[in-house]
Every structure is written in structure tokens, then in C-alpha cells.
A and B are shown apart, each in its own frame.
Chain A
């Protein structure tokens, strides 16, 4: 099939399916977490009910600008992710994601309220912690495959992870940050839902919170897509391997989430940077020497 058709289908699949898949993963997360806590837990489709309920509520804001800012966050993330899934330049995708995160930051800051401002500040600190690893992941792919384009990476002969174990470690480390899982759920957390911990989402009214949740799903699917990128190669069986890897990793994230307490932002930054520097740095050195 013509690659352009595949790319269009991939983009459409991302745009349409990511929220549903994201909700499925979210529901899975809540179910498994509940079981880990010896509870029954909600049904796996619960996030869909949550979204429906949130959209059915009155639209409240604390500031008129929040509506268009959070919508821009959604659309920006969508475009960034779509660029990635269309086989485009990974580095550009990362930069566009950081622009979308700016919109989220603005939504938090424009509320001018104590909790959302603290959350917004912490969002910046999260970005500080994960951005080097994100950029270095793209750099790693470039060195291993010779291109930044995800299309070229998936058509490679070997799975990228064979060349990029260090980068993978760094990426998985910051995955915890990006997915807002304990111990790095600084700026906003999925549980509990109070005040300082609610952070940047504390002044989002029901509908805006739903838009935020949707965007989270898009972003999570992108992150899992990058994980898959480490494993996918031109052999169709690698896709199965990638799916297995995704589920294993996701379970690992849930496990870490449930078994650790939130740490201070400074510690998050320190740990993320050290892991990135050592794991990705060593990998980078080796790659540059052998290539």
C-alpha cells in the first residue's frame, strides 16, 4: 500500500482512537490499582462515563481565558501527536508538545489562584526534569537509524532498542513524570483530588477538566507510541512485541504509582537529570563511537 495512505490512516486512527484507547488504559489503571489495594474497583469503562458526565455539566470557569487556552492545549497536543504518528520528525513533535504544555501552563497561571499557580509552577519543573531525556531520546533514534522521522524508524531492520538501551532507561524513567504517576505526580495527580495535589487542574471547571483529561489521553498514547517505537521494526511480529512491551511497562507504571509516595520537585529533577545524564549519556557516547 502507498505509504501516504498508511500515514493518513495512522493519523486518523490516532485522532479518533486515542481518546478511547486512553480511556481504556485509564480504566485499566484504576481497576488494577483497586485490586492492588484489595478493592473491587470501578469498571474498565468508567473513564468514559466520567467524560460523559463532565461534558453534561454546566460550563464553569474562573477566568474567561481558560476555555480557549485549554482547547488550544488539546488541539496543540493533537497536532503534535498526529505529526508523530504520520511518520514525521520526532524532534519537531517534541517541540510542539512543549508548546502545548505552555498552553496548559497558561491555563493554570491565568486562573491566578494559589493552587493552580503552584501546580503550574510544578508543571514547569516537571518539564525541566523530562525535557533533556525527551530530546535525547530523539537524538538517540537519529543516531541509531539516521533519521528523526518515525516513518524511517519503524521501517528499520532492527529494533531500535538494541542500540538504545540507555536511552530507553532514561525514557522510561521520565515516562513516570509525563504520565503523572507517583512519585513524580507533582503538578497534578490522578488520586487524590485535593487542593495542592490537584494543582494545575484545581481551577478547571467540569467541561475544561474533561478537555484536559482528553488531552492527557492523547499525550499518553503518544508516549506509549514512543515506547512502541523502540521495539517496532520492519518485521510485522515486532508490532506484537511492542504491544507486549507497552502492557508490561504500563503495569510497571501502575506498580510504581501504587507503591511509592510523592517526592519533592527538587528530588524529581535531580533524579531525572542524573538518570538521563548517565544512562542516555553513556549510550550516546557508545553510539557516537561505533557509528
Chain B
């Protein structure tokens, strides 16, 4: 049996090796094979990880006390990263951003080399939460890598204006996977900091892939916001090392639970950093801007995994944040982001932007759950995270594939997609339905969130969730309606989606439905223990009977339309023309106007662009929440007795 001591380093280092292979293999067919093999190997490795850990009794495992060499390697790598960032900042004349890389790296290097002698700690910590993150990263991440191979081919055929640097794209993609594995398994904050910065840089490189002016600007925006968070993280780590005497995340959180003054500032700083990573207000514009990148990066980094890294950290901090000013700050940042982003999503016509705002909105909900920090909300938040990762990844991949075939990702052009690109549209339909409709997973999670938030007496969050739910329903339903209409275009659409892409899409769909059906089981065997590990206790947010009723409702949600279809399919029906005051031109696509000519019918959705001014309102929201964060963090630090 391969032991955990071997699997974890494998998971971190093997993707790096694959990344190197991607870089040096310029033959696209061979590179594709390497990528597929690499992705499958990662999935297999995650499988081994699971098996090992389960045979260990699903108990938390702490590994690797003696890590001198690795510490040095990591420090060197971090310094290399600093040089890479500085070089690129100078190259593109964004000089000031390099400060955000140089300062924290120097601080970390100082603490590592000249800092106080810290007690021995375990550098790797595996519990339910980290294993869950490994599964998400390994399974979804690898499938997105498989998808990316086929997608980039179609992407460059469609976008001949961009230089084909697919090798570079795949390199950074796999590098990122390795970084994520390192991130979620590390317990030493110094290591976490390195992997954190590495994911920031990977995101930066991927966003700027097309090298257009917009892409470059957006990538640097993402970079400085994430580096800003990284700076806060570094401050927190330095403080923790000197004042709290530890850089172990587990110990720090334990100190926070005990309300020790030494833990207040580090936890506040780390929480703040997590907010930038999860792109919460006021740091939301980087994720919206990241949509200029090719879809696999949007799917992988900016919905399924990297932003979840911020959420992961917040869940780890949750027991220490609960009841503190930091927790209050985080929960309201999350709540407002949830609500405001869902309003912005109503105005968007670009499908990827809708997905981006929806991601921000859902991340806000998860952030709010972590901020409240009681077992019930974290329970709901974990479910949110799982369902969101799968559904959003599915949707991003689907919209990318659709764009490759349809050459547009404007929702207004998706009319009748179910007839024009049936396979892609069906996956899109299921993905969207899974994001907001009862009784699917996300709705269940949102329901659990609402319940748990009511119990924690947070009235602002309750109101935000109720109102935000309504706007969420609006922007998703609009999209769904477009898919099922009759197509107005007669032109045939050629489906250029590759098999690899479809495999990933179908597996995602199956996983999404399976996990929804298995909610009671997943809750019992996984999420309840996860919450118990974090808090020491677990509560049943939803009683067993409710969970089973939900599964029954899910089955009904499929069964009812199916049976209705069987029932009505053979009824004698006369199919009429649609009602257009009697002047239907005969094909339901237009009408005869006053001059006797045919006018084509155009049907559109509501976008409220005269009421919702995203640009302006975003600025106000950013200012308001920036003030909130500054005030609350200051209060947290002062009241917590950090000084």
C-alpha cells in the first residue's frame, strides 16, 4: 500500500513534473497524451489518498515534523517567485505592484531564517476538510485539465488573433494543481504562504494569457489584489511567530477558540487575505476581469478551486472567528457580496460574466457561513462549496465549449440552444438548474444556510439571503428560458466540441446529480465528521426526515415531467401557429407587417441596464465595504487585546 507520506508529496510534486513536460513538449498530440495521462494519474493518486486515509480510520493525520530541506527549498522557491513577479511588473511598467511581492517575501524570509525558534510542529495535516479539498482539486481539476486540451484546440481555431501558446497554458494549469495540493494539505503557515503566492502568480499568468491590453490590465489587477492579501498574510504570520510563538495554523485557531489575545491579529490578517483570494467585496473586480482568460482557467481557478482556497482557509479559521469582530466582519462582507453580486448578475448579457458574478455571489454565501462560524453554518457552507465547485465547473466548461461552436457567449444569442446544440445545451440546462432550483444541491445548501443563519440571530444576513435568493432565481431562470425556446436562426451550428471535453462535462453532470441524491449519506459519513473535527461538536442542521424528503423531491423533479411527458405524448393534439394577432407569417418566426412584408420576430430578456449600473454601483459597494473592513479589523485588533 502506498503510504500517506508518499502520496501527499506525490500529489504536490507530480503535477509540477507534468507542468515541465507540458512546457517542453511542443508537439500538440504528444503533449495531449502526456496531459491526459498526467490528469488520470492525479485522479488515481487522489484515489490512493482516500483509500489510505479511510483505512486509517478517517482520523486526522499529522505528518512531517522534520522538514529542514523542504523548508529551504520552499524559501528559495518563494524568492524566485518574488523575482519573477518583480521582473514582470517592471516589464509591463506596473512598478508599484512589485512592492507587494518584495515586502512580504522579505518578511517571510526573515521570519524563516532569523525568526524565533518555534516549537516542533507537523507541517502536513490531513483531516476531512483537507481531504475534501484534495478530492475537489484532484477530481475536478484533473477533468478540467483534460477538458482544456480539447478546448484550447478549438479556442485557437476560433481566435486566430491570439498566438497559440497552449503549452504555456497547460504548464501553468498543472503547476497550479500542484500548488493547490500543497496549499490544502499544509499546516505550517510559512508553507501555506508560499503555495498561496504561487496560486496568485498562476492566476495572474493565466489571466494575461492572450496578452491583449485588457488581459494584461486585468491580470495585474488580480495580481495586486491577491498580493495585497498575501502581504496581510505575511504580517499575520510574522506577528504569530513573534507574539503567539507558532506558525502552525491548527495551533493558531485553537488559540483563537480560547480567545487568546495573541491570536486575534493573525486570524484577522489571515481572514482578510482569504477575502482577497475569494474575491469578496471590495476585491471583487479581479474575478470579473479574469473572465477574459480562456475558459479552463475560469473554470479551474476562478470558480472551482483557487477561490475555494480562500473559503477553505475561512472554514479552518471559523472556530476561531466565531463570536469575534473578525467573524462579524467576514460574515457581513460575505452577505453583502452575496446580495450585491446577484443584482449585478441580472444586468449581464455575457454568459461568462453572469457565471463570474454568480461565483462571487455564492462565495459570499460561503464566506458568510464561515464568518458566523458555528457548526450549523459551516455544515451548510461545506455543502455549498461542494455543489458550487461541481456545478460552476460544469457551467464554465459548457459555456466555453458552446462559445467555440457558436462563436458567441452572449446569452441573447443562446435562443433555442437546446435544438441547435442539444448535448451542450442539456448539460448547461442541468448545470444551471443545479445552481438554484429546488430540490437540487445548491438550493438545499442555501436552505440549510438560511436555517443556520436564523438560528445564529444574524438578522442582516437573513434579510440579505432572502432578497438575494430572489435575484438569484431571476438571473438563472432568464438564461434557462432562452435555452428552451424555438430557434430563430435557421443556420446549422457545427458542434466542434471534442470528446475529451464531453467526457469531462458528462462526468460533472453525473457527479452533480449523484451527490444531490446522496446528500443524506454524504452528510452522515463526511460532513458531520468534518464539522465535528473543526468544532468538537456537530449539529444536524436538517433533520434526517427532511434530507430524505429532499431526495424524494429530487426524484419527483425528474419523475413528474417524465411521467407527464409519457401521459401527454400520445394525446391527439393540433399544433397551431403562435398567436400573433392573426398575422403570423406562417413559420412562427415572424409576422406580416402593415406593408405586407415579413418582419422577423426578436425576443429578448430583461436586463435592467437602465436601473442597474454595475460600474457605478460596484464602486459604491467597494468603498462601503472597504470602510467596513478597516473599521471592523481595527476594532477586532483593539478589542481583542492584541496590543
Contacts and interface: CB of A to CB of B under 8 A. Distances in A.
Taking the complex as a whole, does A directly touch B, i.e. does some CB pair lie under 8 Å apart?
A: yes
A99 B274 CA distance: 35
Contact of B569 (A59, A68, A132): A68
Contacts, number: 178
Given A131-B473, A136-B466, A92 B573 contact: no
A197 to B, nearest CB: 13
Given A109-B485, A203-B578, A135 B459 contact: no
A71 B568 CA distance: 9
A113 B481 contact: no
Interface string B540-573: 0000001001100100110011001101110111
Interface string B561-593: 100110111011111111111000000100000
12 contacts: A65-B484, A71-B564, A92-B546, A105-B480, A105-B481, A112-B485, A135-B466, A135-B469, A142-B451, A202-B579, A284-B462, A288-B459
Contact of A288 (B457, B486, B550, B575): B457
Interface stretch (B101-109, B151-159, B436-444): B436-444
A91 interface: yes
Contact of A121 (B439, B457, B569, B606): B606
A135 B546 CA distance: 18
A120 interface: yes
A62 B486 CA distance: 11
B463 A143 contact: no
A202 to B, nearest CB: 6
B466 A132 contact: yes
Given A125-B474, A139-B466, 14 more contacts: A62-B588, A67-B571, A75-B560, A92-B553, A99-B438, A102-B477, A105-B481, A110-B484, A110-B485, A128-B473, A135-B469, A135-B470, A148-B451, A284-B462
Which 7 pairs show the lowest CB-CB distances between chains A and B? A113-B578, A95-B438, A131-B470, A67-B568, A109-B481, A71-B564, A112-B486
Interface residues of B, number: 60
B549 A88 contact: yes
Interface in A259-291: 266, 273, 277, 281, 284-285, 288
Interface of A: 58-65, 67-69, 71-72, 75-76, 79, 88-89, 91-92, 95-96, 98-99, 102-103, 105-106, 108-117, 120-121, 124-125, 127-129, 131-132, 135-136, 139, 142-143, 148, 195, 202-203, 205, 266, 273, 277, 281, 284-285, 288
A115 B567 contact: no
Given A63-B486, A106-B484, A124-B478, A75 B579 contact: no
Nearest to B543: A89
Contact of A72 (B447, B553, B560, B574): B560
A219 to B, nearest CB: 16
A85 to B, nearest CB: 15
Contacts of B567: 68, 71
B574 A61 contact: yes
A67 B573 contact: yes
A61 B474 contact: no
Contact of B561 (A68, A89, A131): A68
B588 A284 contact: no
Contact of B469 (A69, A114, A132): A132
A61 B576 contact: yes
Nearest to A287: B459
Contact of B606 (A79, A125, A143, A284): A125
B601 interface: yes
B611 interface: yes
Given A72-B560, A139-B466, A64 B546 contact: no
B450 A139 contact: yes
Nearest to B470: A131
A128 B474 contact: yes
Given A128-B471, A139-B462, A288-B457, A203 B439 contact: no
B605 interface: yes
Contact of A98 (B438, B457, B556): B438
B91 to A, nearest CB: 47
Chain B CB within 10 Å — which of A95, A111, A117, A288 has the most? Answer: A95
Interface string B498-520: 00000000000000000000000
A127 B472 CA distance: 11
A72 B561 contact: yes
B544 to A, nearest CB: 13
